Structure 1
């Protein structure tokens, strides 16, 4: 399966606050918040939703096509992605802007406060999927991940015109788009990804009920943090897959992107939706145990054992034989 992942490419600036944000928020002063937190450390890591999903897919044996806009500082990041198996030839490099920046602080309860600077991402709408499909010899799936909204809308429309199945992942950009745009991004998607909060926000933005959303997509995958994820479809029973437990969460950033990479990889290798979700959850836990979104490694024997411990021997064997492989 040839997968194009269209979306953000960014550098993550990750800091940790040893206290709790909630202890510094005054209920009667929320209309005039002015806070500064002294953080303990700074980690500068590679990120961006599309780049993170692409990295995970490459780690699982695919050669994903990354579609997005980066800046004048992209050379080292580009080399890193290519070294790990990502096709970056469809990345548009801006001659004047920096690559997008994600700046995030995590507190002792794993709550996060983050801001995002778009930078070169503003130029992503200039990229034509038709050119990507022509260069690669055709695409089997396009993931429309968070990006400049105009780019998300263009890539959604082009995937329809080209007849390419689409996975819609509006997530962080739901706060920036209006009702009509939200409906256009969702309608007709083969897969729809959200987290639990975004699921409610998506219904508010579209004005559609859960049933109306399900009538317009193939499957709706909703991640629920430590509770795992749920797969829903209009014509099938709901499936809930628990998360893979860990007592060593280092950094929650990128867990959702890993779920998406694992789920897509599983489907691409012919796994059932349930086994694909188990693969995604196991990969997400691996990411949570590492600082940064692309710093983790996949050791087949250890990964297979982790899946077996969480989901049983049959699931582990299916995932090992189809996706992860032997040591």
Structure 2
């Protein structure tokens, strides 16, 4: 097996995040589920955008956020995702390349436009996300380059993108290519509603041994296993997945790898400003450590450090030097 060119290649939604602060009254007025994520159509996306105050636009998407964190830590990464040939597509492409991630997926002509996530951030730091998937849900299997997939040590898949048929087929193909070339497959469940819709698929992938690294939070773990008790849920998956990582927000995170368990507390934060991207950046720290062969507990600590940095400010891209931050805290 040849040495990988990339540490991680990710397939995910190519989304531009549009973020604005607001008060709780606006959340109620717009009939939004505070702290959650919902899919919206083009008309609802326009309605919500019009209701926003001053906003910041930056390329986002769960897997893309993870790669941005990994690149900041010095990892070599590539991204596969679909944008449209429009202004937001140009913003996404520029932003992701500017942080050192290779991105060569050709833009798609015509409608629908590039995906966007309208994020309302309340004073307590909670983010309410409203996602119009647009062009991102039309990523075809033909957009995949088998040699590119085979050139990465880890293939990282975003659960959000499992919903539409075209990218789901593309990700199944990518899994085949990665397995044929002896590469690892990492998967993030993304959100409980995704598991509610496609849990049978995810459970089948686990049973077939197609997933090497699984990221879930405690709510997703319960949805995936059908077990409300956290420890029971862990026990039901441990041993069926080589590396299982479960995050618990302020309660820290647990990892189980080949029968070895480690736990870390959440890193202290002066103030929680915006929780957008916390799970994405946790995965960034963990995967970077894992790609370097670091011990399980150190990988979890790296994830916790990155997650703590991201919730201290608006947006899902780091504002501090993550490499320096990890070095200061871990040595």
Please confirm whether the aligned pair reaches a TM-score higher than 0.5, indicating the same fold: yes
- 2:64 counterpart of 1:51: yes
- 2:294 counterpart of 1:271: yes
The 10-residue stretch of structure 1 (169-178 or 55-64) with the greater mean CA deviation from structure 2: 169-178
- Seen in structure 2, the aligned counterparts of structure 1 residues 184 and 92 have a Cα distance that, compared at 3 Å, is farther
- The answer (yes or no) to whether the contact 1:14–1:105 under 8 Å persists in 2 is yes
- 2:216 counterpart of 1:202: no
- 2:305 counterpart of 1:258: no
- 2:313 counterpart of 1:290: yes
User: TM-score normalised to the size of structure 2?
Assistant: 0.78
Partner in structure 2 of residue 88 of structure 1: 103
State the 1:176 CA deviation: 5.6
Partner in structure 1 of residue 178 of structure 2: 159
Encode CA deviations 1:195-239: one digit per residue, 9 max, x unaligned. 11111111139xx95434223211211111122211124622x31
Corresponding residue SS for 2:197: coil
- Seen in structure 2, the aligned counterparts of structure 1 residues 269 and 209 have a Cα distance that, compared at 3 Å, is closer
- The count of corresponding residues between Structure 1 and Structure 2 is 292
- The answer (yes or no) to whether the contact 1:142–1:165 under 8 Å persists in 2 is yes
Match of 1:109 among 124, 138, 162: 124
State the 1:125 CA deviation: 3.9
Match of 2:135 among 120, 132, 135: 120
- 2 CA distance for matches of 1:254 and 1:85? 19
- 1 CA distance for matches of 2:220 and 2:250? 16
- The answer (yes or no) to whether the contact 1:17–1:106 under 8 Å persists in 2 is yes
Corresponding residue SS for 2:69: helix
Partner in structure 2 of residue 98 of structure 1: 113
- Seen in structure 2, the aligned counterparts of structure 1 residues 275 and 166 have a Cα distance that, compared at 3 Å, is same
- Seen in structure 2, the aligned counterparts of structure 1 residues 5 and 137 have a Cα distance that, compared at 3 Å, is closer
State the 1:39 CA deviation: 6.1
- Seen in structure 2, the aligned counterparts of structure 1 residues 81 and 111 have a Cα distance that, compared at 3 Å, is closer
Partner in structure 2 of residue 33 of structure 1: none
- The answer (yes or no) to whether the contact 1:168–1:185 under 8 Å persists in 2 is no
- The answer (yes or no) to whether the contact 1:18–1:40 under 8 Å persists in 2 is no
- 2 CA distance for matches of 1:8 and 1:295? 19
Partner in structure 1 of residue 77 of structure 2: 64
Q: Structure 1 stretches of 5 or more lacking a match?
A: 26-35, 308-315, 318-327
Q: Structure 2 stretches of 5 or more lacking a match?
A: 32-47
- 1 CA distance for matches of 2:241 and 2:21? 38
- Seen in structure 2, the aligned counterparts of structure 1 residues 128 and 22 have a Cα distance that, compared at 3 Å, is closer
Corresponding residue SS for 1:93: coil
1:124-203 matches, cutoff 5 A: 124-127=139-142, 129=144, 131-132=145-146, 134-135=147-148, 138-146=151-159, 147-149=161-163, 150=165, 151-152=167-168, 153-154=171-172, 155-172=174-191, 174-175=194-195, 177-187=197-207, 188=209, 189-203=211-225
Encode CA deviations 1:50-97: one digit per residue, 9 max, x unaligned. 2111111111112211011112232232222222210102x2421123
- The answer (yes or no) to whether the contact 1:20–1:108 under 8 Å persists in 2 is no
- The answer (yes or no) to whether the contact 1:13–1:101 under 8 Å persists in 2 is yes
- Seen in structure 2, the aligned counterparts of structure 1 residues 292 and 119 have a Cα distance that, compared at 3 Å, is same
- 2:16 counterpart of 1:11: yes
